[in-house]
Homo-oligomer: A and B are copies of this chain.
Amino acid sequence: MSDEKSKFLLSENDLPKQWYNIRADMPVADTPVLNPQTKEPITAEFLNVLFPMSLIEQEMSKERYIDIPEEVREIYKLWRPTPLKRARRLEKALGTPAHIYYKDEGASISGSHKGNTAVAQAFYNKIDGTKSLTTETGAGQWGSALAVACNFFDMDLEVFMVKSSYHHKPYRRIIIESFNAAIYPSPSDQSEYGKQYLKEHPDSPGSLGIAISEAVETAVKSNGKKKYSLGSVLNHVLLHQSVIGQECLKQMEMADEYPDVVIGCVGGGSNFGGVAFPFLHQNLTEGHTTRLVAVEPTATPTLTKGLYAFDYGDTAKMAPILKMFTLGHDFIPAPIHAGGLRYHGMAPQICMLYEAGYIEAVAVPQPATFAAAMQFAQAEGIIPAPESAHAIRAAIDEALDAKEKGEARVILFNLSGHGLLDLAAYDSYLRGEVGDSTFEITKDEIRKNLPKVDVM
């Protein structure tokens, strides 16, 4: 009977009480974060211009488990724990012996995993006295999640949305406005950097790097009135996302299986870190050998084609310098539909682990991700976000590989969000208008524009 189940639901009481911090278990040495002006290791004081002290402490912390405040858990309960589902109809359509599970983070109030950190960041800002936040958003998932969270905690929010997404994804703009946040297409005339960039590149589709610069500048120039909030890349963000993988561990136990491979798409790395790190902890401490696969677009092949080096987090060189795989802070990715994956860098923790061989990476071209998305939708009835379609592509490829090899592989992927606000992209795909945007660059070309730093 339990073998026929296809949904694994946890009760509110099973909601994790603590976040899991990968920094407690990093099997490789830490890399420092640098001040973008001095290029020296960053101080809490510098970071405090952007972030409240409580989040800076989490960023630096090496505690393995950090308590989730009751106020945050109360809001998590509006949609968490999210379901784990077995994609039985997809398995049948593929004719694979593999078992395919997916964590449905789209079943949340903002439609993606982003709420997990949005609520936490809004909460810590609130208790540290922040009245107003600034942020950037790519596809709009992060911006809408933070708008919902700021609304709950009665805080103001300004969102800089990458211009190509702002115009192609009006529905996310409307959500952001519905929750009382201000929103500007980036590059915008709201910041000095934006004005200057617009003068030089009036037709720019924008990028996450530029939008980050605008949001950071707005916070920096506010004389302490505004703080900045980042939806990915940083350790405290990945920390908050650990609820995903922790719930999956319990749910895979309910399914009486354990994954051979865990898959997530990567832009800045937060949903992948969220689902994968609790399994990495099991690999490191319990002797499991689960493969952890990060999936990126060939249009933004940060891990697979980037250089592992110190680089600025944003285009205007105002954000901290991080050691990460990078395509260069001035890289402007093609305006692919998976706007949330259009970032030149990657979370340092993920980069360290990739460099050291603890996780794998694969890049997939855009048309193949839409084909996978349609196959998943027609089997399971859920239209995925174009970002999540990258994870689905890799999961289907794993399932087909298992079929070829006759292996009973157990596959788990994170469905980071639904695609109901991305239907214009599917319209383009159905009309045959979604093309490949594979990006090629040499490591020498990337190296040219990197900041010169002394630390290794």
Contact = CB atoms under 8 A, between A and B. Distances in A.
A361 interface: no
B430 A177 contact: yes
B381 A178 contact: no
Interface stretch (A50-58, A281-289, A419-427): A419-427
A426 B174 contact: yes
How many copies of this chain does the complex contain?
Answer: 2
Interface string A406-447: 000000000000001101101100100000000000000000
A380 B427 contact: no
Contacts of A78: 6, 85, 89, 380-381
Contacts of A109: 380-382
A77 B87 CA distance: 12
Contact of A430 (B9, B110, B174, B420): B174
Interface size for chain A: under 10, 10 to 19, 20 to 34, or 35 or more residues? Answer: 35 or more
A11 B83 CA distance: 11
Interface string A344-358: 000000000000000
A179 B423 CA distance: 13
Contacts of A180: 378
Interface in A174-217: 174-175, 177-180
A365 interface: no
A5 interface: yes
Given A6-B78, A78-B381, A109-B382, 11 more contacts: A5-B12, A6-B77, A9-B11, A89-B152, A109-B381, A170-B424, A174-B423, A174-B426, A175-B423, A177-B427, A421-B423
11 contacts: A7-B12, A78-B380, A79-B381, A111-B420, A148-B381, A174-B423, A174-B426, A175-B423, A178-B374, A179-B378, A180-B378
Interface of A: 5-7, 9, 11-12, 77-79, 85, 89, 107, 109-111, 148, 151-152, 170-171, 174-175, 177-180, 374, 377-378, 380-383, 420-421, 423-424, 426-427, 430
